[in-house]
Chains A and B, each alone.
Chain A
């Protein structure tokens, strides 16, 4: 196109980040697929990726409700439970039902559905429950809604554990032996006992989660999505603009629950056993924290933080749970690295808050100062007094560190990793600052925002 008006030129340029995003996504999928063929299947990496994909979907569904529609719901675990149960009930092979439903003579459902139909069915049942629950509770306001949905999740849990429903739900006992992610691996000749020819389990988790998240993304960017955001920003004016509040809230609630149900099915595939007592409010809180860390109102953030959250809690921070002995050089190394980290974080906080209000600055500096003194004192004590066992490290320390990190994010980085930005926005930002850098290097004035100006918009 040679005759380019400024408008179309702008439009053409703004497409670039989306294309890059697309490339990144394709690259990630390829990478996962290749990794799966190359790395030993026993590695923690795949465990983390599968659980991360599951949590990413659930977090995205929660974000749709909490971040985009502004409905503070804490019922996610309940809908996941429904999805997980429906999925597993309908996929346990008929021949092993007798051993799973051992106290209920094999249960009353004697049909098996293909796994993806069962997954979708799980979502649909969760959505139906959501509709029924939504009728009374969606009229409630923020905190009342939160506590009512939390209550519903608990009620759902009790119903699924009730002995009288045992022939369907297996009572409070675990459901097992249904197809899990490992059943997605392609085996030679399709024989389940043959060695695996193509590993597909992690990729399949990514594909399911990817499709669902893409649907959520499309919804958020549709007219419905704009209506949701209008409701979030101001209910009264949204209504004045002609948005049917009840209908849109219900729609958001039902769709979110649908995807939470699918996420529950995926969680079942990940855990390979399903038991109602695991779907506690603690699970909802975890997902909520993921959403907050990622940024309320950013799907990319939810996805990113889901993987980060799972990797930290299940994998990277595990070493904190084990007692550890250091060699003398390693001890010095540890102390030096620790001091460097403390110094870096302190400097970072110092610079970040230089221009904050005096009150906030005072508080932040005070807190950092106290933390610094404590940590450095502890390190000194460790250097001169405490033998070669790493102090504090024992079972449970991981969770404490993790909780402290989360509290820090909640208090000091309340906008989360991404704020309300999505990946293309991020790329646009990076592109802009790259441009600035280029212009700066060439000694020209940037046409985009200056680096300093860019910093303020975050």
Chain B
């Protein structure tokens, strides 16, 4: 009986707490204008988990764009753009509820996510709610395949894999490659697969291995790479594993180049490689210096606030995903303008026709899957002495 009483009492308390906080959920007084019309854009990004660092950098790009252009004109009226965040935790089992969270908040369009697996996991929820999503750096083809609501502004893995294979054979005359992927990570496994295809077509041989999630001991994998006599190592995994792989490769004195995809374009990787005898090459969407105006503006934005700086990994180096996030925001605004309403269906239809000159290049979508048409990737390498990214070359296929 007492238990029932306690239960009743605690549920009343719970309600009181919710009510109390419900009352408190108002934004700071300076920015509230009760009459302003608002359009909500969902930010579906990981801020925790293996891809947390990348997701935060992508979000920073979106936030920077939002700080520059906080309103959008719809049918002659100015609407305030409000970003709604949901953390998908880098994991496919948390992604659906995070997506549902955005849907229940009534967003008109969704940006994200960093990581292909979580994008696919959230995809159905957006589809059922009739909301379009614009992928920023999810490069796996399956994200947009066979649906009309998921778009993306980056290149695809078949392209990226081919670029890497070509670069490996041209630059290093590589004949043998060792590929390393995380088990169950769609991004890694997909990219390794396309790289393998392309590399074998160019006459090379590939040894592939996978490691379980949460691995921190990469010594044996590096040994395997040595034993396989690989000329290059292709390890397009999450940043948290990247730093370990670099560290172990340096510790074991592995003199072969390590190549990876766009995930490795992060200051964490530079930090890990600085002062060590390793060669790292990554393919990516944007090279710092590509648009000086964006670069300087974004750096000011990062330095203006310690949280921003922290979220960027502690320094003001610009990641390609930030530039992509910045572009994605403007693509979404273009679509909202073209749709002339905040209705998610209308926006979905409008995205197909958007063409926008972004800092990472011209963005337009193909008519089949809604993928951005991109022809080149940038290859960067870590300068281990100064600890910055050096531009290697612009690589395209054919």
- Using CB atoms and an 8 Å cutoff, list the residues of chain A in contact with chain B: 41-44, 47, 51, 96, 99, 102-103, 158, 161, 163, 171-174, 176, 180, 182, 270-273, 275-278, 314, 316, 318-319, 321-322, 324-328, 330-331, 333-334, 337-338, 340-341, 344-345, 348, 352, 388, 390, 395-396, 415, 417, 419, 426, 429-430, 433, 451, 454-455, 457-458
Contact = CB atoms under 8 A, between A and B. Distances in A.
B23 A333 contact: yes
Range for the number of chain B residues in contact with chain A: 35 or more
Contacts of B85: 322
B92 A273 contact: yes
Given A322-B85, A327-B29, A278 B93 contact: yes
Contact of A348 (B6, B93, B146): B6
A341 B6 contact: no
A333 B22 CA distance: 11
A171 B192 CA distance: 14
Given A41-B128, A271-B121, 20 more contacts: A47-B100, A103-B189, A174-B120, A271-B92, A271-B93, A272-B124, A272-B125, A273-B92, A273-B121, A277-B212, A278-B93, A326-B26, A327-B28, A327-B29, A330-B23, A340-B16, A415-B3, A451-B1, A454-B1, A458-B2
A58 to B, nearest CB: 14
Given A271-B121, A455-B1, A325 B27 contact: yes
B327 interface: no
Nearest to B100: A47
Contacts of A415: 3
21 contacts: A41-B129, A99-B146, A174-B120, A174-B121, A174-B184, A271-B93, A271-B121, A275-B184, A276-B184, A318-B101, A321-B87, A322-B85, A324-B24, A327-B24, A334-B24, A340-B16, A341-B13, A415-B3, A419-B3, A433-B1, A458-B1
A171 B188 CA distance: 13
A378 to B, nearest CB: 16
Interface string B11-35: 0011011111101111111000000
B113 interface: no
B83 to A, nearest CB: 11
A276 B24 CA distance: 41
A428 B47 CA distance: 48
A99 B146 CA distance: 9
B6 A352 contact: yes
A330 B26 contact: yes
A44 B100 contact: yes
A324 B23 CA distance: 12
Contacts of B24: 324, 326-327, 330-331, 333-334, 390
B4 A173 contact: no
B186 interface: yes
A334 B16 CA distance: 10
B213 interface: yes
B142 A337 contact: no
B112 interface: no
A183 to B, nearest CB: 10
Nearest to A270: B96
Given A174-B120, A426-B4, A47 B184 contact: no
Interface string B119-155: 0110011001100000000000010011000000000
Nearest to B99: A47
Contact of A51 (B3, B14, B97): B97
A423 to B, nearest CB: 12
B104 interface: yes
A47 B146 contact: no
Interface in B82-108: 85, 87, 91-93, 96-97, 100-101, 103-104, 106
A429 B1 contact: yes
Contact of B2 (A43, A51, A455): A455
B117 interface: yes
Interface in B306-354: none
A172 B189 contact: yes
B13 A345 contact: yes
B92 A275 contact: yes
A271 B94 CA distance: 9
Given A277-B184, A278-B91, A43 B104 contact: yes
A345 B189 CA distance: 51
A401 B166 CA distance: 51
A42 B4 contact: no
Contact of A327 (B26, B48, B213): B26
A334 B21 contact: yes
B342 to A, nearest CB: 15
B210 A163 contact: yes
A174 B3 contact: no
B209 to A, nearest CB: 10
B142 A99 contact: yes
Contacts of A102: 142
B255 interface: no
A417 B20 contact: no
Contacts of B4: 426, 429-430
Interface string B45-57: 0011000000000
A277 B213 contact: yes
Contact of A42 (B48, B129, B145, B185): B129
Contacts of A348: 6, 9-10
B183 interface: yes
Nearest to A313: B97
A269 to B, nearest CB: 11
Contacts of B13: 341, 344-345
Top 8 closest A-B pairs, CB basis?
Answer: A337-B20, A172-B184, A277-B184, A278-B93, A330-B24, A454-B1, A42-B103, A325-B28
Contact of A103 (B19, B101, B193): B193
Nearest to A436: B1
Q: Which of A96, A102, A419 has the most CB of B within 10 A?
A: A102
